[in-house]
Structure 1
Amino acid sequence: MYADVLTTLTHGGEGVLSQNQVQMVTLLLRLAVGSIWLAAATGKARAGVAATGESVRRMTDLSAVRARRLGVAVIAAEAILGAAMVSGVMPLVVATASFLAFLALALVSGATGLRSIADGTDADCGCFGARRTPRPVTDVQRVQSTAWVVARNVGLALISLTTLL
């Protein structure tokens, strides 16, 4: 069905949208996804390496030192993906990397969320830095929070693919 929609949108300019309109939508989606990557990197950087490392440690059970190193790598990767997405450099490579990164985040967030539900702990992902909303305290809130993060990341993965139009 997704392919049918894309074919309709782009089929020789005879679809619902003209070729110029499709290019404009693609540009806006690319800028939006790139901005999300940049916001995530900025939020983590502002929260600090220690806070980002602690979020990584809770999600992965790595040692504090390794989690901090991975946290720094995540910040750098998000900043690079964001800058590359916004600039439009190597669109096929960047969109594919963005798609795969969002899918990986969905899987890790889902697994971490399920673990937090099972053991009653907090599994704040720190996706955009320090949490500004109350932590989920009930199992229902943990399920809702996990479902939202997974759905958001899957949605962003799919949007990353549409930037290839």
Structure 2
Amino acid sequence: MIIRTLSIPSILIALTACSIAPTPESQTTLDLTAEQHWVSHYWQVSRTAVPEYPRQAAQRELNGCVRFQLTIDSHGRPQQIELIESFPAGVFDQSARRALAKFQWQPGEKNPEAQPARIPFQLDFTLEGGGSNYDEAGTFCFISGNERSVASVSTSNNR
């Protein structure tokens, strides 16, 4: 039986070589948080999830929105989801986060290598027929035109 021994330096060199090999996840992340108009050129939503309308919000006839910043990884999955602000504060946050975690993106025309990107994202919650705070929500969330939101999903509920 032949037993070969490797010296510690040769093992360290082999391990170091493996650890510095580039991986798709080590790509530089684009920061598009201030360049909202470019987001759809780099990443496009390919699968959404409709957030559950919180029962208390529906009973009180509340509209609102939740703004996030998140990173889309090279596989089109949301990572590092960070809540920026919401209206009314705390009402739709959990529902929006759960739904957003299920979203999927595909690379856009300017992103053939699927480079990860940090983006802003807004989910809107609106009731058919208005609601008790429709004007306030429309002003804060820009629901009527959604000029500030890169993407939005409106959910309707007639409860």
TM-score, structure 2 normalization: 0.25
More helix by share: 1
More strand by share: 2
Structure of higher CA gyration radius:
2
TM-score, structure 1 normalization: 0.24
